Chains A and B, each alone.
Chain A
Amino acid sequence: MSKDQNKVTNIVICGVGGQGIILASNVLCSAVFNRGFDIKKSEVHGMAQRGGSVITHVRFGHKIHSPLIEEGTAYYILAFEKLEALRYLHYLKKNGKIIVNDRKIPPMSVLTGQTKYPEDILSKLNDRGKVYLIDAEKKANELGNERTVNIILLGVLARFLKFDPDTWDKALRENIKEKYIDLNLKAFNAGLKLKSENQS
């Protein structure tokens, strides 16, 4: 078996319930499937979604057994919110990539003053891997629809995965209602080209 055959790509997608993480991960899965990989994805529904912390595991390669990513083995973390990037940072492989949305959603314990929202998140992320800070909200507002944040962020991730445009186009069409497809294709392409805030 060649080395390539043993290679498994692990991607953690995380954020706050209601941010559209499940749709983004479904599109990713379709794209991976269309490329002919073995794939497993695991997420949790229900209680965890009501504004709670959410993590989705996506793994693909030649043959996948466990649907769960082990700590310290994720090539990419795609975080829809900064605190959630910090929460799941231990999943990152050494020198992995962290794409993080420049958005702060304080949890209830911070709102009620019991705890503080950590100040030094970005420096902690930088210590562990390469950080791409993305202002997806701003881009979404430019596109005129705040609900496209998830697909913009997926577009940023897509830059690294190097699947051909048709693969993504098909994957988006398979998961998004016809009515919204043009908007989301635009969002995805905007993500592909989006500059990160912390780089020139």
Chain B
Amino acid sequence: MKTILSGNEAVARGAWEAGCKVAAAYPGTPSTEILENIILYPEIYAEWSINEKVALEVAAGASFAGCRSLVAMKHVGLNVAADPLFTMAYSGVTGGFVIVNADDPGMWSSQNEQDNRHYARHAKIPMLEPSDSQEARIFVKLGFEISEQFDTPVLLRLTTRICHSTCLVDLDDRIEHQISGYTKNIKKRLVLPAHARLLHIAVEERMKKLAEYSEKFLYNQIEWGQKKLGIITSGISYQYAKEVFPKASFLKLAFTYPLPEKLIREFSRQVRNVIIIEEGDPILETEIKAMGIKATGKARIPVCGELTPKVIKESFNIKKLDINPEPAPVRPPVLCPGCPHRGVFYIINKLNLVATGDIGCYTLSALPPLNAMDTCICMGASITNAHGLDKALGKEFSNKMVAVLGDSTFFHSGITGLVNAVYNKGNLNLIIVDNYTTAMTGHQPHPGTGKLAHGETGKRIPPEDIARGCGVEFVKTVNPDDLEETENTIKEALEFDGVTVLVFRRPCALLLKRKIPYYVDSENCKSCNICMRIGCPAISLTSIPGKEKEIAVIDADLCFGCGLCAQVCTCEAIKLRDIVR
């Protein structure tokens, strides 16, 4: 049977077909829909773990039990999970263990453009790279087989355009995979130096066998065309290169670590010029050139940004269409109308505070007109960066500073930083903007919601309880829709000596029903524009007859009815519609 699936849906399908029984993930674009789709298969236990390190270790534990298990994350997630990743390469597996990792070239939704193909080499773990959804489904299944055959975790590397592109996919039935059960084996799973020394030798031996396997891997394919030009490529780059050079010969690599050296030599010998087309770093190129093969790659193709057929054409001076984009004002993402984060950041801006920030929807508060965030490095860093600033500059500085992160981010990697600040006598003012969900990635639950992946109720763990448990003495819950309360409580926290935690809680606007919209009474509006400072997409300025200056208007279709604008308005011009629409 055929259907159309995105790469992420295809990975989920492949895991199900392979008899996978345990899957764990932490959300992150572009990988999120992998677990979201696995959740739909009742045969697989699926969980949103609180971070990627936890998720990888959970899946590794399931593999110890002889169960086929999978973990999925975005590229930077593997940085968080790198510690168990490297050691799992030594330990190996019992049940097949596939680590799905999604890179984001072009940084559509990410803070960096790291090329995670490096991890395969660094951690000595074999890597598979599908070039479309069909291969994604098949490679998950092959990944489990390779994992069990060679006693190693397997990395399946996707990129945004694989994850979020759909194409035709064949479907197979599920083949149940029996859980073999747990047997103690400390030589394998307890990495004392004495054990690890032997394991390292085994890893090196395993890599040699995998290199032989790569030579025969069915999907490392040569497609002969004209022999003038031979293109070596992998993943989505193959699809682009096929569009640009339809007549060339291709060596399409799918098992990309370790590389099939003999096959590459064989191919290169038979073509006149070798071009290596890869997105990101020159990884294939470096290894192929180290084989002594002459080839062109990054001397022409850029390292930065997403690869597209157009970029390839430009790199090789192939006919360029003479059309340029029309100039148009940019449209970056914004906080939604009714977003509970807006008021908190309006006050942070108003009080002119330094705000170390973090990653989530609330990072959008860094943009005008709120301009309310100073830093954003990685998940959890708001707390620890603030602590460092405090230690370097002292209380005079930190009394005018807040650290801000979201609820999901707090559970992901905020707690350790909080314990650290309490223990090391920090003067930290932590603000948790709790919208009761992981909004940025599409509303996944987390411990603060008490909901589990499949929707059933688990144990709710309020961030306030955690803060108190960590020894924080000043902990308050605040309603972010009340600006006065928001401002007063932040001021109170700033005056407190030591660590404070404020939890601003109201569910994400996208999860609530809209309320009655507000409107601007044009009689009263004095064009002071103060309502424009909250950065609400529903409010704009317009000119009306009889008024010299532009006045504010509220788009009733966009207005959520949160009333923040009415609270900042000083001329009593913003009012609730009394008519029911």
Q: Is the CB of B440 within 8 A of A47?
A: yes
Q: Which residues of A contact B168 (CB under 8 A)?
A: 33, 38-39
The 8 A CB mask of B2-18 against A (1 = contact, 0 = none) is 01100000000000000
User: Are A44 and B164 also in contact (CB < 8 A) when A70-B309, A90-B323, A112-B369 are?
Assistant: yes
Is A153's beta carbon under 8 Å from chain B? no
Q: Which residues of A contact B160 (CB under 8 A)?
A: 44
User: Are A87 and B368 also in contact (CB < 8 A) when A39-B4, A45-B32, A67-B161 are?
Assistant: no
Q: Is the CB of A45 within 8 A of B166?
A: no
The 8 A CB mask of A98-142 against B (1 = contact, 0 = none) is 000000011111111111111000001000000000000100000
Is B193's beta carbon under 8 Å from chain A? no
**Choice from B32, B330, B369 contacting A107 with Cβ under 8 Å:** B330
Shortest A64–chain B CB gap in Å is: 7
The 8 A CB mask of B305-334 against A (1 = contact, 0 = none) is 000111000000000010111101111111
User: Are A67 and B239 also in contact (CB < 8 A) when A42-B161, A108-B368 are?
Assistant: yes
- Interface positions, chain B 230-250, Cβ under 8 Å from A, are 236, 239-240, 242-243
Instruction: Tell me, in angstroms, the Cα distance from A49 to B32 when the chains sit together.
Output: 14
Chain A residues with a Cβ closer than 8 Å to the other chain, count: 54
Instruction: Tell me, in angstroms, the Cα distance from A115 to B327 when the chains sit together.
Output: 12
Is A89's beta carbon under 8 Å from chain B? yes
Instruction: Tell me, in angstroms, the Cα distance from A56 to B328 when the chains sit together.
Output: 18
Secondary structure of the B contact surface, majority rule: loop
A-B interface contact total, Cβ < 8 Å:
163
Is A146's beta carbon under 8 Å from chain B? yes
Question: Nearest chain-A residue to B363 (Cβ)?
Answer: A47
Is A16's beta carbon under 8 Å from chain B? yes
Q: Which residues of B contact A68 (CB under 8 A)?
A: 161, 240, 308-309
**Choice from A29, A30, A44, A118 contacting B328 with Cβ under 8 Å:** A118
Q: Is the CB of A48 within 8 A of B108?
A: yes
Instruction: Tell me, in angstroms, the Cα distance from A44 to B7 when the chains sit together.
Output: 12
Is B335's beta carbon under 8 Å from chain A? yes
Shortest B339–chain A CB gap in Å is: 9
Is A3's beta carbon under 8 Å from chain B? no
User: Are A66 and B329 also in contact (CB < 8 A) when A46-B108, A50-B364 are?
Assistant: no
Question: Nearest chain-A residue to B337 (Cβ)?
Answer: A51
Instruction: Tell me, in angstroms, the Cα distance from A65 to B160 when the chains sit together.
Output: 16
Q: Is the CB of B323 within 8 A of A44?
A: no
Give 18 A-B contacts (CB < 8 Å), ordered by A residue.
A30-B4, A33-B4, A40-B132, A44-B30, A45-B29, A46-B441, A47-B108, A67-B167, A68-B240, A68-B309, A105-B537, A107-B329, A107-B330, A108-B331, A108-B537, A112-B368, A116-B329, A137-B557
Q: Which A positions have Cβ atoms within 8 angstroms of B? A: 16-18, 29-30, 33, 38-53, 64-68, 70-72, 83-84, 86-90, 105-118, 124, 137, 146
Known: A50-B335, A108-B368. 11 other contacts (CB 8 A): A29-B4, A38-B168, A40-B132, A46-B29, A67-B167, A72-B323, A83-B328, A89-B325, A90-B326, A107-B329, A124-B326
